[in-house]
Amino acid sequence: MFNLSSAELEARFVKPWIAGAAIDCDDRRWSPDRGRMTVLQGRELRPEELGLGRGWATATKFCDDVTAAVIAAARRGEQARPELEALKAAVEEVATGTISFSDVVALAGAAQPTWRASEQLALAEQAVWEMLHQGRVEIIAQGGPVARERWQEIVLSWASWTGESALRLRR
């Protein structure tokens, strides 16, 4: 399957797979004990890139293999870090347009007022990092969306979190 949302991928494939259930797809049945799942993440593939059996070759050329991370996240589930999932939900609720990185830290501080500032920042950073990889937010600069290759540099930059940067997050 190609061009799935994170929610559809998780509900139709990942959760049943880690539970050991067989998956029915395209008139075939795939069993976790007899097969292997591969999850690729990248840009949406155009219809002409998928035709005539070219989908897999195109996807492997333009996408990253995120199978291990997706399965690990599903196994951890929302119960592993409920404060992280709550912050991600709060960011989505607030970010109807755009939201600054420092606003995410403020949301983390409001949700966890007894935590040290470094813990609040770490929570905000983890939430943004996961949301970027889940396709729930994107980083916006003056010229538009920022390329995936620059995410780490931006998320790890102190200037991004202190409001010294014009970068924003958009749902």
Per residue in 76-101, pLDDT (tens digit) is 765 567 888 899 989 988 877 788 89
Q: Are 40 and 9 in contact (CB under 8 A)?
A: no
Q: What is the mean pLDDT of residues 107-124?
A: 93
Q: What is the pLDDT at residue 79?
A: 58
Q: What is the mean pLDDT of residues 151-166?
A: 86
Q: What is the pLDDT at residue 40?
A: 87
Domain with CATH 1.10.10 in the chain: 82-170
Backbone CA torsion sign across 40, 170, 86, 148? positive
Q: What is the pLDDT at residue 52?
A: 74
For the segment 4-56, what is each residue's pLDDT rounded down to a tens digit? 787 788 888 888 888 888 888 888 888 888 888 888 888 888 888 777 777 78
Provide DSSP, 68-119.
Answer: HHHHHHHHHTTTS-HHHHHHHHHHHHH-SSEEEHHHHHHHHHHH-TTS-HHH
pTM: 0.57
* CATH number, domain 82-170: 1.10.10
